[in-house]
């Protein structure tokens, strides 16, 4: 396989994607070569594509939400992994031990690396990954579903940080993939009602169809709507899956005293928030970043039990059309919850 080549979708400059022929990479002793089946497009990659992410530098093969089959294993890889296995990958890994890793919080390691940012990702027919990042898919999880493990992991983390929400009302602002999945992981923790708000009507409709109580910010003030619906109490947990000053502030205002606001969306680097209100009502504001290894494992288990979904709004598209889908998701996502790119067979 030394001289064999593959097709890869390369991000070459802001708003530029190109299919290129590259050598199929050779796995290092502790690496696995995966033949990619599905690779999802992540919101963080949309900002990367626009050139707004310091983490991503062109030319780059992105793609960190993916599944595939093992095509080759390095000489030092354990027997548990072998050719032909259907797998997904936790794309965040640490290169140096740290106190965070000891606490099971690999996502906070100073040495963390992301496949598809620090090294070539899965928008290609093949990708090499450290063997430690590989999870063999249970028989009940298809390759298509397995590609969802990474975003589901983000939603598992959000629900973990939300604490006890049983019987309590919650709010999620943003009905993109993470908002839609976080709404579902909150409901799986027996949340009462989960209100969901999004300015895009089609995305909002997905939120309603997946079990949320839709609030249309264009027709209705999100905060007053939540207050009216909760007898002026507010929600116990509000999740911002957008990351704008207004959505961050709305989450704080809609949360009850001593409640929790979780910031997940990264749209704006810096925002003004109502700090005095946070103080006077003792609101807990928490960041939620990616997922721990335990969250990722739980995500695979949830998928195996068919407990979370973005269907029927998942679009499968040829890898060669990836650039078009990046543009579409940025300009007018509409009736699409997730785009899964498929490299040529």
Nearest to 87 by CA among 123, 39, 34, 126: 34
User: Least separation, in Å, of the C-beta of 86 and Zn ion?
Assistant: 20
Residue number with CB closer to Zn ion (22 or 47) = 47
Taking CB under 5 A as the binding criterion, the range among 19-27, 42-50, 224-232, 306-314 that sits at the site for Zn ion is 42-50
Token pair of 336, please? 């699409």
DSSP string of 214-269?
A: EE-TTTS-HHHHHHHHTTT--EEEEEESS--HHHHHHHHHHEEEEEEEEE---S-S
User: Least separation, in Å, of the C-beta of 24 and Zn ion?
Assistant: 24
Residue number with CB closer to Zn ion (105 or 256) = 105
Q: What are phi and psi of 177, to 5 degrees?
A: -55, -45
DSSP string of 11-79?
A: EEETTEEEEEEEEPPPPPTTEEEEEEEEEEPPHHHHHHHHT--TT--SSB----EEEEEEEEE-TTS-T
Residue number with CB closer to Zn ion (66 or 195) = 66
Nearest to 16 by CA among 263, 291, 327: 327
Residue number with CB closer to Zn ion (42 or 252) = 42
User: Least separation, in Å, of the C-beta of 194 and Zn ion?
Assistant: 22
The C-alpha angle 243, 262, 99, rounded to 5 degrees, equals 105
User: Least separation, in Å, of the C-beta of 93 and Zn ion?
Assistant: 14
User: Least separation, in Å, of the C-beta of 106 and Zn ion?
Assistant: 15
Distances (CA, A) of 324 to 120, 155, 176: 20, 27, 18
User: Least separation, in Å, of the C-beta of 228 and Zn ion?
Assistant: 35
Dist. CA 145–CA 152, nearest whole Å: 10
Residue number with CB closer to Zn ion (195 or 313) = 313
Which of residues 10, 42, 149, 204 is near Zn ion by CB under 5 A?
42
Each residue 260-299 as x (binds Zn ion by CB under 5 A) or -, in order, gives: ----------------------------------------
CB atoms within 10 A of CB 276: 8
Taking CB under 5 A as the binding criterion, the range among 41-49, 159-167, 168-176, 274-282 that sits at the site for Zn ion is 41-49
Residue number with CB closer to Zn ion (42 or 341) = 42
Taking CB under 5 A as the binding criterion, the range among 40-48, 73-81, 122-130, 279-287 that sits at the site for Zn ion is 40-48
User: Least separation, in Å, of the C-beta of 231 and Zn ion?
Assistant: 37
User: Closest residue (Cβ) to Zn ion?
Assistant: 42
Dist. CA 197–CA 163, nearest whole Å: 21
Each residue 229-248 as x (binds Zn ion by CB under 5 A) or -, in order, gives: --------------------
User: Least separation, in Å, of the C-beta of 92 and Zn ion?
Assistant: 10
User: Least separation, in Å, of the C-beta of 329 and Zn ion?
Assistant: 13
DSSP string of 119-134?
A: B--SSBSEEEEEGGGE
Non-local (6+) Cβ contacts of 77 within 8 A are 27, 29, 30, 31, 32, 131
89 binds Zn ion (CB under 5 A): no
Q: Name the 3-class secondary structure at 179.
A: helix
Residue number with CB closer to Zn ion (91 or 217) = 91
Q: Count interface residues toward Zn ion (CB under 5 A).
A: 1
Residue number with CB closer to Zn ion (55 or 76) = 55
Residue number with CB closer to Zn ion (11 or 195) = 11
Nearest to 342 by CA among 104, 24, 38: 38
Token pair of 192, please? 């009462």
Q: Which of residues 202-221 bind Zn ion (CB under 5 A)?
A: none
CB atoms within 10 A of CB 241: 32
Give the binding site for Zn ion (CB under 5 A): 42
């Amino acid at each position: 396989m030394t001289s064999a080549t593959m097709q890869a979708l390369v991000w070459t400059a802001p708003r530029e994607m190109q299919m290129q022929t590259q050598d199929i990479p050779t796995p290092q002793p502790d690496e696995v070569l995966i033949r990619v089946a599905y690779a999802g497009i992540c919101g963080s990659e949309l900002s990367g594509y626009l050139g707004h992410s310091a983490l991503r530098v062109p030319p780059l093969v992105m793609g960190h939400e993916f599944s595939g089959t093992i095509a080759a294993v390095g000489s030092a890889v354990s027997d548990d992994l072998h050719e032909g296995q259907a797998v997904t990958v936790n794309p965040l890994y640490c290169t140096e031990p740290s106190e965070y890793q000891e606490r099971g919080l690999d996502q906070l390691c100073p040495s963390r690396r992301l496949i598809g940012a620090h090294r070539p990702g899965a928008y290609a027919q093949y990708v090499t990954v450290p063997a430690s990042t590989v999870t063999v898919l249970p028989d009940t999880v298809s390759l298509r579903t397995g590609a969802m493990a990474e975003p589901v992991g983000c939603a598992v983390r959000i629900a973990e940080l939300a604490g006890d929400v049983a019987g309590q009302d919650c709010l999620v602002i943003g009905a993109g993939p993470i908002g839609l999945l976080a709404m579902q992981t909150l409901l799986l923790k027996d949340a009462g009602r989960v209100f969901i708000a999004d300015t895009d009507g089609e995305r909002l409709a997905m939120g309603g169809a997946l079990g949320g109580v839709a609030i249309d910010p264009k027709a209705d003030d999100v905060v007053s709507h939540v207050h009216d619906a909760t007898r002026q109490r507010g929600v116990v947990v509000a999740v911002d899956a957008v990351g704008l000053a207004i959505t961050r502030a709305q989450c704080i205002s809609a949360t009850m005293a001593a409640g929790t606001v979780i910031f997940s969306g990264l749209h704006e680097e810096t925002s003004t928030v109502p700090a005095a209100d946070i103080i006077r009502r003792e609101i807990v504001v928490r960041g939620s970043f990616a997922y721990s290894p335990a969250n990722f494992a739980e995500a695979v288990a949830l998928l195996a039990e068919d407990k979370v979904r973005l269907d029927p709004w998942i679009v499968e598209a040829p890898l060669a059309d990836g650039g078009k889908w990046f543009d579409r998701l940025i300009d007018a996502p509409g009736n699409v919850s997730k785009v899964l790119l498929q490299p040529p067979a």
